Protein backbone atom coordinates (compact mmCIF):
# COMPACT_ATOMS: atom_id res chain seq x y z
CA UNK A 1 0.00 0.00 0.00
CA UNK A 2 1.10 3.56 -0.66
CA UNK A 3 1.04 5.43 2.64
CA UNK A 4 0.89 9.02 3.87
CA UNK A 5 4.68 9.27 3.77
CA UNK A 6 4.47 8.93 -0.02
CA UNK A 7 2.14 11.91 -0.29
CA UNK A 8 3.36 15.48 -0.55
CA UNK A 9 0.23 17.09 0.86
CA UNK A 10 1.35 20.72 1.11
CA UNK A 11 -1.12 23.05 -0.59
CA UNK A 12 -3.27 20.13 -1.76
CA UNK A 13 -6.93 19.47 -1.14
CA UNK A 14 -6.96 15.95 0.25
CA UNK A 15 -10.10 13.83 0.19
CA UNK A 16 -10.06 11.54 3.22
CA UNK A 17 -12.45 8.59 3.61
CA UNK A 18 -12.89 8.06 7.33
CA UNK A 19 -15.18 5.70 9.22
CA UNK A 20 -17.43 7.91 11.35
CA UNK A 21 -20.20 5.31 11.51
CA UNK A 22 -20.66 6.03 15.21
CA UNK A 23 -23.68 5.39 17.45
CA UNK A 24 -25.86 8.52 17.68
CA UNK A 25 -28.80 8.98 20.02
CA UNK A 26 -30.96 12.12 20.29
CA UNK A 27 -28.50 13.98 18.09
CA UNK A 28 -25.53 13.12 20.35
CA UNK A 29 -22.54 10.91 19.54
CA UNK A 30 -22.52 8.06 22.09
CA UNK A 31 -19.07 6.62 21.37
CA UNK A 32 -16.35 8.67 19.71
CA UNK A 33 -13.70 5.93 19.41
CA UNK A 34 -13.80 6.01 15.63
CA UNK A 35 -13.50 9.79 15.56
CA UNK A 36 -10.44 9.86 17.82
CA UNK A 37 -8.93 6.98 15.83
CA UNK A 38 -8.84 9.23 12.74
CA UNK A 39 -7.07 12.16 14.42
CA UNK A 40 -3.42 11.18 13.78
CA UNK A 41 -4.03 11.16 10.01
CA UNK A 42 -5.97 14.43 10.02
CA UNK A 43 -3.48 16.22 12.25
CA UNK A 44 -0.53 15.04 10.17
CA UNK A 45 -2.13 16.22 6.93
CA UNK A 46 -3.00 19.60 8.46
CA UNK A 47 0.56 20.02 9.68
CA UNK A 48 1.72 19.31 6.14
CA UNK A 49 -0.45 22.19 4.94
CA UNK A 50 -3.31 20.30 3.33
CA UNK A 51 -6.96 21.30 3.10
CA UNK A 52 -9.14 18.39 4.25
CA UNK A 53 -12.39 17.16 2.76
CA UNK A 54 -13.80 14.24 4.78
CA UNK A 55 -16.17 11.54 3.59
CA UNK A 56 -17.93 8.90 5.71
CA UNK A 57 -21.03 6.75 5.83
CA UNK A 58 -23.39 6.59 8.79
CA UNK A 59 -26.02 3.92 9.38
CA UNK A 60 -28.15 2.51 6.62
CA UNK A 61 -30.15 5.25 4.89
CA UNK A 62 -32.03 4.24 1.77
CA UNK A 63 -29.98 6.13 -0.83
CA UNK A 64 -31.28 9.66 -0.23
CA UNK A 65 -31.13 12.42 2.37
CA UNK A 66 -32.52 11.45 5.79
CA UNK A 67 -32.17 13.85 8.71
CA UNK A 68 -31.67 10.92 11.13
CA UNK A 69 -28.57 9.73 9.26
CA UNK A 70 -26.97 13.14 8.84
CA UNK A 71 -23.33 13.45 9.90
CA UNK A 72 -24.02 16.90 11.44
CA UNK A 73 -23.60 15.70 15.06
CA UNK A 74 -20.22 14.19 14.15
CA UNK A 75 -18.86 17.51 12.87
CA UNK A 76 -19.30 19.06 16.32
CA UNK A 77 -17.44 16.26 18.08
CA UNK A 78 -14.65 16.31 15.51
CA UNK A 79 -14.29 20.06 15.93
CA UNK A 80 -13.79 19.62 19.66
CA UNK A 81 -11.16 16.89 19.21
CA UNK A 82 -9.27 18.72 16.46
CA UNK A 83 -9.39 22.02 18.32
CA UNK A 84 -10.25 23.93 15.14
CA UNK A 85 -13.39 24.70 13.13
CA UNK A 86 -14.90 21.94 11.01
CA UNK A 87 -17.17 23.17 8.25
CA UNK A 88 -20.11 20.77 7.80
CA UNK A 89 -21.39 20.73 4.24
CA UNK A 90 -24.74 18.95 4.38
CA UNK A 91 -27.99 18.84 6.29
CA UNK A 92 -30.25 19.24 3.24
CA UNK A 93 -31.21 17.17 0.16
CA UNK A 94 -29.17 19.48 -2.16
CA UNK A 95 -25.96 18.98 -0.23
CA UNK A 96 -25.30 15.30 -0.81
CA UNK A 97 -21.55 14.62 -0.98
CA UNK A 98 -21.26 14.37 -4.77
CA UNK A 99 -23.67 17.20 -5.66
CA UNK A 100 -22.69 20.33 -7.64
CA UNK A 101 -23.73 22.51 -4.70
CA UNK A 102 -21.35 20.63 -2.41
CA UNK A 103 -18.55 20.83 -4.98
CA UNK A 104 -18.96 24.63 -5.20
CA UNK A 105 -18.60 24.93 -1.41
CA UNK A 106 -15.60 22.62 -1.38
CA UNK A 107 -13.89 24.70 -4.06
CA UNK A 108 -14.21 27.82 -1.95
CA UNK A 109 -12.76 26.28 1.22
CA UNK A 110 -9.93 28.37 2.68
CA UNK A 111 -6.47 26.81 2.44
CA UNK A 112 -5.70 24.64 5.48
CA UNK A 113 -9.33 24.27 6.59
CA UNK A 114 -11.36 21.14 7.33
CA UNK A 115 -14.76 20.21 5.89
CA UNK A 116 -16.91 17.18 6.63
CA UNK A 117 -19.30 16.25 3.84
CA UNK A 118 -22.67 14.56 4.23
CA UNK A 119 -23.27 10.79 4.52
CA UNK A 120 -22.01 9.01 1.38
CA UNK A 121 -24.93 6.59 1.59
CA UNK A 122 -27.23 9.47 0.61
CA UNK A 123 -25.81 8.83 -2.87
CA UNK A 124 -27.69 5.93 -4.49
CA UNK A 125 -24.54 4.79 -6.34
CA UNK A 126 -22.36 4.51 -3.22
CA UNK A 127 -22.93 0.87 -2.31
CA UNK A 128 -23.14 -0.14 -5.98
CA UNK A 129 -19.67 1.28 -6.51
CA UNK A 130 -21.01 3.37 -9.38
CA UNK A 131 -18.21 4.66 -11.59
CA UNK A 132 -19.91 7.98 -12.33
CA UNK A 133 -20.24 8.63 -8.61
CA UNK A 134 -16.61 7.70 -7.99
CA UNK A 135 -15.57 10.22 -10.67
CA UNK A 136 -17.67 12.91 -8.97
CA UNK A 137 -16.00 12.20 -5.62
CA UNK A 138 -12.64 12.50 -7.38
CA UNK A 139 -13.45 16.15 -8.25
CA UNK A 140 -13.45 16.96 -4.52
CA UNK A 141 -9.70 16.53 -4.01
CA UNK A 142 -6.22 16.38 -5.55
CA UNK A 143 -5.40 13.18 -3.68
CA UNK A 144 -7.33 10.47 -1.84
CA UNK A 145 -6.53 8.99 1.56
CA UNK A 146 -8.32 5.87 2.76
CA UNK A 147 -8.37 5.76 6.56
CA UNK A 148 -11.72 4.01 7.02
CA UNK A 149 -10.38 0.63 8.07
CA UNK A 150 -13.84 -0.36 9.36
CA UNK A 151 -15.19 0.02 5.80
CA UNK A 152 -12.19 -1.35 3.89
CA UNK A 153 -13.96 -4.66 3.24
CA UNK A 154 -16.60 -2.81 1.21
CA UNK A 155 -16.02 -2.22 -2.50
CA UNK A 156 -18.05 1.00 -2.40
CA UNK A 157 -17.59 4.17 -4.45
CA UNK A 158 -16.07 6.21 -1.59
CA UNK A 159 -13.79 3.37 -0.51
CA UNK A 160 -12.37 1.65 -3.59
CA UNK A 161 -14.11 3.38 -6.52
CA UNK A 162 -12.65 6.85 -6.06
CA UNK A 163 -9.13 5.39 -5.63
CA UNK A 164 -9.10 4.64 -9.38
CA UNK A 165 -9.37 8.32 -10.25
CA UNK A 166 -7.00 9.99 -7.77
CA UNK A 167 -3.51 9.28 -6.45
CA UNK A 168 -4.43 7.22 -3.36
CA UNK A 169 -2.79 6.46 -0.04
CA UNK A 170 -3.46 4.58 3.21
CA UNK A 171 -3.96 6.76 6.29
CA UNK A 172 -2.22 5.98 9.58
CA UNK A 173 -5.18 4.07 11.05
CA UNK A 174 -5.49 1.93 7.95
CA UNK A 175 -1.74 1.31 7.95
CA UNK A 176 -1.65 0.39 11.64
CA UNK A 177 -4.64 -1.97 11.43
CA UNK A 178 -3.27 -3.76 8.40
CA UNK A 179 0.24 -4.05 9.86
CA UNK A 180 -0.98 -5.48 13.19
CA UNK A 181 -3.54 -7.84 11.71
CA UNK A 182 -1.11 -9.06 9.04
CA UNK A 183 1.38 -9.81 11.79
CA UNK A 184 -0.99 -12.38 13.36
CA UNK A 185 -1.54 -13.94 9.96
CA UNK A 186 1.88 -13.93 8.36
CA UNK A 187 4.57 -13.84 11.01
CA UNK A 188 3.35 -14.45 14.54
CA UNK A 189 5.90 -15.20 17.24
CA UNK A 190 5.25 -18.68 18.60
CA UNK A 191 3.60 -20.06 20.66
CA UNK A 192 0.59 -18.56 18.91
CA UNK A 193 -2.93 -19.09 20.29
CA UNK A 194 -6.22 -17.98 18.78
CA UNK A 195 -9.19 -17.57 21.10
CA UNK A 196 -12.55 -17.76 19.33
CA UNK A 197 -16.07 -17.35 20.61
CA UNK A 198 -19.26 -15.53 19.77
CA UNK A 199 -22.53 -16.62 18.37
CA UNK A 200 -21.93 -18.70 15.26
CA UNK A 201 -19.35 -21.07 13.81
CA UNK A 202 -20.55 -20.05 10.37
CA UNK A 203 -19.25 -16.48 10.90
CA UNK A 204 -15.79 -17.77 11.80
CA UNK A 205 -15.22 -20.75 9.50
CA UNK A 206 -12.99 -18.78 7.15
CA UNK A 207 -10.91 -17.46 10.05
CA UNK A 208 -10.49 -20.94 11.55
CA UNK A 209 -9.50 -22.43 8.20
CA UNK A 210 -7.01 -19.69 7.38
CA UNK A 211 -5.38 -19.61 10.81
CA UNK A 212 -5.42 -23.29 11.79
CA UNK A 213 -2.15 -24.10 9.95
CA UNK A 214 -0.45 -21.04 11.49
CA UNK A 215 -1.20 -21.54 15.19
CA UNK A 216 -0.11 -23.76 18.07
CA UNK A 217 -3.58 -23.88 19.56
CA UNK A 218 -7.14 -22.65 19.44
CA UNK A 219 -9.49 -22.07 22.37
CA UNK A 220 -13.15 -22.22 21.48
CA UNK A 221 -15.84 -20.68 23.69
CA UNK A 222 -19.16 -18.90 23.16
CA UNK A 223 -22.15 -20.49 21.49
CA UNK A 224 -20.02 -21.76 18.62
CA UNK A 225 -18.45 -24.33 20.95
CA UNK A 226 -21.75 -26.25 21.10
CA UNK A 227 -21.67 -27.19 17.43
CA UNK A 228 -18.25 -28.80 18.07
CA UNK A 229 -19.43 -30.45 21.29
CA UNK A 230 -22.55 -31.85 19.62
CA UNK A 231 -20.61 -33.26 16.67
CA UNK A 232 -18.51 -35.21 19.20
CA UNK A 233 -21.68 -36.74 20.64
CA UNK A 234 -22.20 -34.35 23.58
CA UNK A 235 -25.63 -33.38 24.96
CA UNK A 236 -26.01 -29.63 24.54
CA UNK A 237 -29.60 -29.19 25.77
CA UNK A 238 -31.13 -26.05 24.32
CA UNK A 239 -27.81 -24.31 23.65
CA UNK A 240 -27.39 -22.51 20.36
CA UNK A 241 -26.25 -25.05 17.75
CA UNK A 242 -25.89 -24.87 13.98
CA UNK A 243 -27.12 -28.28 12.93
CA UNK A 244 -26.16 -27.68 9.30
CA UNK A 245 -22.54 -27.14 10.38
CA UNK A 246 -22.02 -30.37 12.34
CA UNK A 247 -20.12 -32.09 9.56
CA UNK A 248 -17.99 -29.05 8.94
CA UNK A 249 -17.21 -28.87 12.66
CA UNK A 250 -16.15 -32.53 12.60
CA UNK A 251 -13.86 -31.85 9.65
CA UNK A 252 -12.27 -28.87 11.41
CA UNK A 253 -11.61 -30.99 14.51
CA UNK A 254 -10.00 -33.64 12.30
CA UNK A 255 -7.92 -31.04 10.49
CA UNK A 256 -6.67 -29.62 13.79
CA UNK A 257 -5.66 -33.11 14.88
CA UNK A 258 -3.87 -33.80 11.58
CA UNK A 259 -1.95 -30.54 11.93
CA UNK A 260 -1.07 -31.23 15.56
CA UNK A 261 -2.86 -28.06 16.63
CA UNK A 262 -4.35 -28.09 20.13
CA UNK A 263 -8.08 -27.40 19.85
CA UNK A 264 -9.62 -26.88 23.28
CA UNK A 265 -13.36 -26.88 23.85
CA UNK A 266 -15.10 -25.99 27.13
CA UNK A 267 -15.35 -28.83 29.64
CA UNK A 268 -18.00 -27.11 31.76
CA UNK A 269 -20.57 -24.38 31.20
CA UNK A 270 -22.73 -21.90 33.08
CA UNK A 271 -26.29 -22.65 31.98
CA UNK A 272 -29.72 -21.12 32.46
CA UNK A 273 -33.22 -21.67 31.13
CA UNK A 274 -33.63 -18.11 29.90
CA UNK A 275 -31.25 -15.43 28.63
CA UNK A 276 -32.12 -12.90 31.32
CA UNK A 277 -30.39 -11.22 34.24
CA UNK A 278 -30.97 -12.77 37.66
CA UNK A 279 -32.28 -16.17 36.49
CA UNK A 280 -31.23 -19.42 38.16
CA UNK A 281 -27.80 -20.58 36.93
CA UNK A 282 -26.26 -24.03 37.07
CA UNK A 283 -22.89 -25.46 36.14
CA UNK A 284 -22.94 -28.57 33.93
CA UNK A 285 -20.25 -30.61 32.19
CA UNK A 286 -20.16 -29.21 28.66
CA UNK A 287 -21.45 -32.42 27.01
CA UNK A 288 -24.17 -33.08 29.60
CA UNK A 289 -26.52 -30.13 29.44
CA UNK A 290 -30.13 -31.23 30.18
CA UNK A 291 -33.08 -30.36 27.94
CA UNK A 292 -34.46 -26.91 28.74
CA UNK A 293 -31.02 -25.54 29.72
CA UNK A 294 -28.72 -23.41 27.57
CA UNK A 295 -24.97 -23.00 27.96
CA UNK A 296 -24.47 -19.24 28.19
CA UNK A 297 -20.87 -18.97 29.40
CA UNK A 298 -17.81 -21.15 29.89
CA UNK A 299 -17.67 -22.66 33.37
CA UNK A 300 -15.12 -22.15 36.20
CA UNK A 301 -13.00 -25.18 35.26
CA UNK A 302 -12.79 -24.05 31.61
CA UNK A 303 -11.84 -20.53 32.71
CA UNK A 304 -8.83 -22.04 34.50
CA UNK A 305 -7.89 -24.43 31.69
CA UNK A 306 -8.09 -21.68 29.06
CA UNK A 307 -6.06 -19.22 31.16
CA UNK A 308 -3.42 -21.90 31.76
CA UNK A 309 -3.21 -22.86 28.10
CA UNK A 310 -2.34 -19.26 27.26
CA UNK A 311 0.63 -19.07 29.64
CA UNK A 312 3.85 -18.59 27.71
CA UNK A 313 2.08 -17.50 24.53
CA UNK A 314 3.97 -14.94 22.43
CA UNK A 315 1.04 -14.07 20.16
CA UNK A 316 -2.68 -14.17 20.95
CA UNK A 317 -5.58 -13.20 18.73
CA UNK A 318 -8.98 -12.93 20.38
CA UNK A 319 -12.21 -12.86 18.46
CA UNK A 320 -15.62 -13.50 19.97
CA UNK A 321 -16.86 -13.38 23.57
CA UNK A 322 -16.87 -16.58 25.67
CA UNK A 323 -20.49 -16.10 26.71
CA UNK A 324 -23.43 -13.72 26.74
CA UNK A 325 -21.21 -11.01 28.26
CA UNK A 326 -23.93 -8.38 27.83
CA UNK A 327 -25.57 -9.90 30.94
CA UNK A 328 -23.35 -9.79 34.03
CA UNK A 329 -24.37 -13.30 35.13
CA UNK A 330 -22.75 -14.69 31.98
CA UNK A 331 -19.76 -12.36 31.66
CA UNK A 332 -17.28 -14.13 33.95
CA UNK A 333 -15.80 -16.34 31.23
CA UNK A 334 -15.19 -13.47 28.84
CA UNK A 335 -13.66 -11.42 31.64
CA UNK A 336 -11.40 -14.28 32.80
CA UNK A 337 -10.11 -15.01 29.31
CA UNK A 338 -9.75 -11.32 28.41
CA UNK A 339 -7.85 -10.73 31.65
CA UNK A 340 -5.61 -13.76 31.08
CA UNK A 341 -4.65 -12.49 27.62
CA UNK A 342 -4.20 -8.90 28.81
CA UNK A 343 -1.88 -10.06 31.62
CA UNK A 344 0.49 -12.06 29.40
CA UNK A 345 3.86 -10.44 30.04
CA UNK A 346 5.54 -10.57 26.64
CA UNK A 347 2.85 -11.37 24.13
CA UNK A 348 1.66 -9.48 21.09
CA UNK A 349 -2.09 -9.44 21.71
CA UNK A 350 -4.84 -8.46 19.29
CA UNK A 351 -8.62 -8.13 19.59
CA UNK A 352 -10.70 -8.22 16.42
CA UNK A 353 -14.49 -8.29 16.05
CA UNK A 354 -17.06 -5.70 17.07
CA UNK A 355 -18.59 -7.46 20.05
CA UNK A 356 -15.23 -8.64 21.37
CA UNK A 357 -13.94 -5.08 21.42
CA UNK A 358 -17.16 -3.94 23.14
CA UNK A 359 -16.72 -6.72 25.71
CA UNK A 360 -13.08 -5.83 26.36
CA UNK A 361 -13.99 -2.16 26.79
CA UNK A 362 -16.90 -2.94 29.06
CA UNK A 363 -14.82 -5.27 31.20
CA UNK A 364 -11.93 -2.80 31.35
CA UNK A 365 -9.19 -4.95 29.79
CA UNK A 366 -8.85 -3.32 26.35
CA UNK A 367 -6.00 -0.91 27.23
CA UNK A 368 -3.64 -3.76 27.98
CA UNK A 369 -3.86 -5.26 24.48
CA UNK A 370 -1.20 -4.52 21.87
CA UNK A 371 -3.85 -3.79 19.25
CA UNK A 372 -7.61 -3.30 19.45
CA UNK A 373 -9.10 -3.28 15.98
CA UNK A 374 -11.62 -0.57 15.07
CA UNK A 375 -13.09 -2.76 12.33
CA UNK A 376 -15.48 -5.61 13.15
CA UNK A 377 -16.36 -7.11 9.78
CA UNK A 378 -13.21 -5.73 8.18
CA UNK A 379 -10.90 -7.35 10.72
CA UNK A 380 -12.62 -10.72 10.33
CA UNK A 381 -12.46 -10.55 6.56
CA UNK A 382 -8.78 -9.62 6.64
CA UNK A 383 -8.03 -12.53 8.99
CA UNK A 384 -9.93 -14.81 6.66
CA UNK A 385 -8.64 -13.69 3.25
CA UNK A 386 -5.36 -11.93 4.08
CA UNK A 387 -6.44 -8.83 2.15
CA UNK A 388 -9.39 -6.44 1.64
CA UNK A 389 -10.82 -4.53 -1.33
CA UNK A 390 -9.58 -1.29 0.29
CA UNK A 391 -6.02 -2.66 0.54
CA UNK A 392 -6.08 -3.81 -3.07
CA UNK A 393 -7.29 -0.38 -4.19
CA UNK A 394 -4.17 1.22 -2.70
CA UNK A 395 -1.66 -1.25 -4.12
- The catalytic residue positions are 34, 200, 354, 377
Q: CB-based burial of residue 182 (10 Å sphere; 0-12 exposed, 13-18 middle, 19+ buried)?
A: middle
Positive or negative CA dihedral for 206, 210, 213, 217? negative
How many residues are there in the chain? 395
Residue 265 contacts residue 284 (beta carbons within 8 Å): no
Q: How many Å apart are CA 330 and CA 195, to the nearest integer?
A: 18
Among 90, 97, 234, 321, binds ligand ADP (CB under 6 A): 321
| Residue 320 binds ligand ADP (CB under 6 A) | yes
Q: Of all residues in this chain, which one has the CB nearest to ligand ADP in the complex?
A: 198
Q: Nearest Cα to 173, choosing from 390, 386, 14? A: 390
Q: Which is nearer to ligand ADP, 82 or 246 (CB)?
A: 246
Are 160 and 138 spatial neighbours (Cβ–Cβ below 8 Å)? Answer: no
Which residue has its beta carbon closest to Mg ion?
355
- 299 part of the interface to ligand ADP, by CB under 6 A: no
Whichever of 51 and 319 has its CB closer to ligand ADP, that residue is 319
CA dist 31 to 24, 238, 348, 376, Å? 8, 35, 26, 15
User: In the complex, what is the shortest distance from the CB of residue 322 to Mg ion, in angstroms, rounded to a whole number?
Assistant: 14
Positions in 198-217 near ligand ADP (CB under 6 A): 198-199, 203
Give, in order, the Cα–Cα distances in Å from 347 to each of 46, 210, 344, 350, 382.
35, 21, 6, 10, 21
> What minimum distance in Å lies between the beta carbon of 72 and ligand ADP?
28
Q: How far is the CB of 304 from ligand ADP (least distance, A)?
A: 18
Binding to Mg ion (CB under 5 A) within 347-366 occurs at: 354-355
Nearer to ligand ADP, 46 or 289 (CB): 289
Each as own residue / partner, the long-range contacts of residues 131-134 (CB below 8 Å, 24 or more positions apart, any chain) are: 131/161, 133/98, 133/157, 133/161, 134/158, 134/161, 134/162, 134/164, 134/165
- Contact string 223-252 vs ligand ADP (x = CB under 6 A): x----------------x------------
Q: Report if residue 376 touches ligand ADP, rule: CB under 6 A.
A: yes
Q: Is 244 left (phi over 0), alpha (psi -120 to 50) or beta?
A: alpha
**Looking at 15-23, 30-38, 191-199, 256-264, which segment touches ligand ADP (CB under 6 A)?**
191-199
The distance of closest approach from Cβ of residue 148 to ligand ADP in the complex, given in angstroms and rounded to an integer, is 18
- Contact code string over 259-298 relative to ligand ADP, x by CB under 6 A: ------------------------------------xx--
- Cβ atoms of 183 and 348 closer than 8 Å: yes
The residue ranges that bind ligand ADP (CB under 6 A) are 197-199, 203, 222-223, 240, 295-296, 319-321, 323-324, 326, 353-356, 376
The residue ranges that bind Mg ion (CB under 5 A) are 354-355
Amino acid sequence: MRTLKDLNAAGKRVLVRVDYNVPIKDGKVKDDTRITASLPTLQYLLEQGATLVLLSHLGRPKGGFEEASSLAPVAKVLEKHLGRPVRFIGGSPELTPASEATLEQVKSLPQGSVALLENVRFEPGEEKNDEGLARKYARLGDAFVLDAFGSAHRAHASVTGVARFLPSYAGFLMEKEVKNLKRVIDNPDKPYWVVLGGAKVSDKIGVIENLLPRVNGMLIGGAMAFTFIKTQGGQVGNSLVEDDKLELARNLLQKAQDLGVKFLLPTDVVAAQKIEPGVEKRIFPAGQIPQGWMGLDIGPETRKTFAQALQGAKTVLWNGPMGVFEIEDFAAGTLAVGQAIADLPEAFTVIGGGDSVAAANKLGVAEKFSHVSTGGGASLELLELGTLPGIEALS
